[in-house]
């Protein structure tokens, strides 16, 4: 029976998804939930990449009590120093250094010879070991590297003191047969294979990342890297929730244990989906809304007679079923806080007070406030704290010939500064968004706009996701939650554009 460590990189590789940009509070909430879900290691960011990333990694390192906190670094001493500074407060710090080994990366990206790559690995792993007990080395693009050179690179890293070797399928090129054989080869040729931890990191370009990760596990990997909901660069990473449930349901085959608390899976997935703005497809394995729905009459009949006929995973296993009682307007602060805590949130006194105020406002408008509504209250609050702008007034006016006018007021960065303007558009949303552009003086492109109801029923709140793109190609995401669709739309766009404005200001002052 082997123990498989879970290494979550939602906050690093997951954040490389176009349009995904978590603020620091969002990152801390996700990290806390990942720790609750039971991951062993959290890759909190790439500290040298920006001040924001450095601060988030430091905050997560100082907050988590159990999980190892990891920071990414290139084979550059300054990267390793920076990761050390960000991680030194962690209960269990780890650095993850990487260098590409494939011919195409060496020739075109690094312009280095194989000998130079080996020297750099030896030097930087040794350097990292002088600062960290736990050093992970990744030969980037491993699956397109000649096997002999890959083996040499791995051996060099182990000889220099690497304690974890991660084998990335950087471009999602491999398949389960090949990837399994690659791990078997390493197990047979690296004498220290069982002394260090071998890890797998797959991308989903050909839709095989979960299968590839499982093939690696079958052939000796003792750590699996991935993200929640499979978010990440291009087609994304291995969906960790799928691996966790596969190892559990097919325990007979994989004979492996994990530290994952499976009934926290849905909650973890929902949190990441909301804060990233990446909707989970309905037919997604394990956590999709249809994963437990039976449409055909024959299937329904079978499930009613015995769920085992067509259901290998029960909704309760992954925390889908919730029969907790809804709260209402007579519920007091104590009941509210207790429920929020059982849902996994740890709020400061000030944040809890603000959330209770929002709950009361909602309870006045909605008879029953469900857990879904409570998640929305907290997540809306966390997301809004990432920007300095608050929508204080919105008024719409039909002009003529299909033209709409909007008047928008925004509370600015300094308290008691109200910014106000008006503009027109060919529809209400365009009029609102043009007005916000005028107020913030931003030039952004709206690349995604999505609206969904938080709960069923006509009194449901609207949840709007807006993503904007700025001149340098960066994307920013905002969430707006409100009873009124137009207010929710305005809040989402204001948040996304506010983040874009703050970012461009940070760049100017750097």
Q: How far is the CB of 95 from ligand KIV (least distance, A)?
A: 12
When the beta carbons of 170 and 370 are compared against ligand KIV, the nearer one is 170
When the beta carbons of 203 and 469 are compared against ligand KIV, the nearer one is 203
Q: How far is the CB of 227 from Zn ion (least distance, A)?
A: 9
When the beta carbons of 172 and 386 are compared against ligand KIV, the nearer one is 172
String marking each residue 2-41 x if it binds Zn ion according to CB under 5 A:
-----------x----------------------------
When the beta carbons of 13 and 482 are compared against Zn ion, the nearer one is 13
Rule CB under 6 A: which residues touch ligand KIV?
A: 13, 98, 138, 140, 168, 170, 201, 203
When the beta carbons of 13 and 270 are compared against ligand KIV, the nearer one is 13
When the beta carbons of 78 and 321 are compared against ligand KIV, the nearer one is 78
Q: Which residues have C-beta within 8 Å of that of residue 103, sequence separation ≥ 6?
A: 144, 145, 146
Three-state SS letters, 187-246: HHHCCCCCCCEEEEEEECCCCCHHHHHHHHHHCCCCEEEEEHHHCCCCCCECEHHHHHHH
The kind and range of the H/E element at 292 are: none
When the beta carbons of 10 and 434 are compared against ligand KIV, the nearer one is 10
Residue of 487, 275, 500 whose CA lies nearest to 388: 500
- Ramachandran category for residue 64: left, alpha or beta (phi over 0 → left; psi -120 to 50 → alpha): beta
Q: How far is the CB of 168 from ligand KIV (least distance, A)?
A: 3
The kind and range of the H/E element at 323 are: none
DSSP state of 510: -
When the beta carbons of 13 and 463 are compared against ligand KIV, the nearer one is 13
Q: How far is the CB of 216 from ligand KIV (least distance, A)?
A: 14
Q: Could you tell me if 187 and 193 are in contact, meaning their C-beta atoms sit under 8 angstroms apart?
A: yes
Q: How far is the CB of 145 from ligand KIV (least distance, A)?
A: 11
140 binds, among Zn ion, ligand KIV, none (CB under 5 to 8 A by kind): ligand KIV
Q: What are phi and psi of 450, to 5 degrees?
A: -140, 140
In sequence order, the β-bridge partners of residue 395 are 407
Q: How far is the CB of 178 from ligand KIV (least distance, A)?
A: 17
Q: Coil, helix or strand for 407?
A: strand
Q: How far is the CB of 103 from Zn ion (least distance, A)?
A: 19
270 binds, among Zn ion, ligand KIV, none (CB under 5 to 8 A by kind): none
219 binds, among ligand KIV, Zn ion, none (CB under 5 to 8 A by kind): none
405 binds, among Zn ion, ligand KIV, none (CB under 5 to 8 A by kind): none
138 binds, among ligand KIV, Zn ion, none (CB under 5 to 8 A by kind): ligand KIV
242 binds, among Zn ion, ligand KIV, none (CB under 5 to 8 A by kind): none
Longest Cα–Cα distance in the chain: 78
DSSP for 12-32?
TTGGGSTT----HHHHHHHHH
DSSP state of 90: S
Q: Could you tell me if 479 and 380 are in contact, meaning their C-beta atoms sit under 8 angstroms apart?
A: yes
161 binds, among ligand KIV, Zn ion, none (CB under 5 to 8 A by kind): none
User: For residues 486 and 492, what is the distance between their CA atoms, to the nearest angstrom?
Assistant: 10
DSSP state of 110: I
User: For residues 185 and 137, what is the distance between their CA atoms, to the nearest angstrom?
Assistant: 18
Q: How far is the CB of 240 from ligand KIV (least distance, A)?
A: 14
Q: Residue of minimal CB distance from Zn ion?
A: 13
User: Which residues are at the interface with Zn ion (CB under 5 A)?
Assistant: 13
């Amino acid at each position: 029976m082997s123990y498989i460590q879970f290494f979550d990189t939602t906050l690093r590789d997951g954040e490389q998804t176009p349009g995904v940009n978590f603020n620091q509070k969002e990152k801390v909430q996700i990290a806390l939930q990942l720790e609750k879900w039971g991951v062993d290691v959290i890759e909190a960011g790439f500290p040298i990449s920006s001040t924001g990333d450095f601060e988030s990694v430091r905050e997560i390192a100082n907050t988590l009590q159990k999980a190892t906190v990891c920071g990414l670094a290139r084979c550059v001493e300054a990267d390793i120093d920076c990761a050390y500074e960000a991680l030194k407060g962690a209960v269990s710090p780890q650095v993850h250094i990487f260098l590409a080994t494939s011919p195409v990366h060496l020739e075109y990206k690094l312009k280095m010879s194989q000998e130079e790559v080996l020297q750099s690995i030896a030097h930087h792993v040794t350097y990292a070991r002088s600062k960290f007990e736990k050093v992970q080395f990744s030969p980037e693009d491993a699956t397109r590297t000649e096997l002999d050179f890959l083996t040499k690179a791995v051996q060099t890293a182990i000889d220099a003191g690497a304690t974890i070797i991660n084998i990335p399928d950087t471009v999602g090129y491999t398949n389960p047969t090949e990837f399994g054989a690659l791990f078997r080869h390493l197990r047979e040729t690296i004498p220290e294979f069982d002394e260090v931890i071998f890890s797998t990191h797959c991308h989903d370009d050909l839709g095989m990342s979960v299968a590839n990760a499982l093939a690696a596990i079958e052939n000796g990997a003792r750590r699996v890297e991935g993200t929640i909901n499979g978010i990440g660069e291009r087609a994304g990473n291995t969906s960790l929730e799928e691996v966790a449930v596969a190892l559990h349901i097919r325990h007979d085959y994989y004979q492996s244990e994990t530290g994952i608390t499976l009934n926290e899976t849905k909650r973890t997935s929902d949190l990441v989906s909301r804060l990233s703005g990446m909707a989970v497809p309905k037919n997604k394995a394990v956590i999709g809304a249809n994963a437990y729905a039976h449409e055909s009459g024959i299937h329904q009949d079978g499930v009613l007679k015995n769920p085992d006929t067509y259901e290998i995973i029960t909704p309760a296993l992954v925390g889908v079923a919730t029969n907790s009682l809804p709260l209402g307007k007579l519920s007091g602060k104590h009941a509210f806080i207790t429920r929020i805590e059982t849902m996994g949130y740890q709020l400061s006194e000030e944040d809890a007070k603000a959330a209770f105020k929002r709950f009361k406002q909602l309870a006045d408008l909605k008879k029953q406030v469900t857990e879904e509504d409570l998640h929305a209250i907290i997540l809306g609050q966390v997301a809004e704290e990432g920007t300095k702008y608050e929508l204080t007034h919105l008024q719409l006016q039909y002009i003529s010939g299909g033209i709409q006018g909007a008047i928008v007021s925004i509370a600015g960065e300094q308290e008691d500064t109200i910014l106000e303007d008006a503009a027109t558009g060919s529809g209400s949303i365009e009029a609102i968004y043009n007005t916000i552009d005028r107020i913030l003086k931003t030039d952004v492109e709206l690349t995604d706009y999505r609206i969904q109801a938080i709960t069923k029923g006509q009194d449901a709140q609207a949840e709007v996701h807006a993503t904007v793109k700025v001149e340098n190609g960066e994307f920013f995401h905002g969430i707006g939650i409100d009873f009124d669709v137009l207010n929710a739309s305005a809040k989402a766009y204001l948040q996304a554009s506010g983040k874009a404005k703050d970012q461009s200001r940070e760049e100017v002052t750097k």
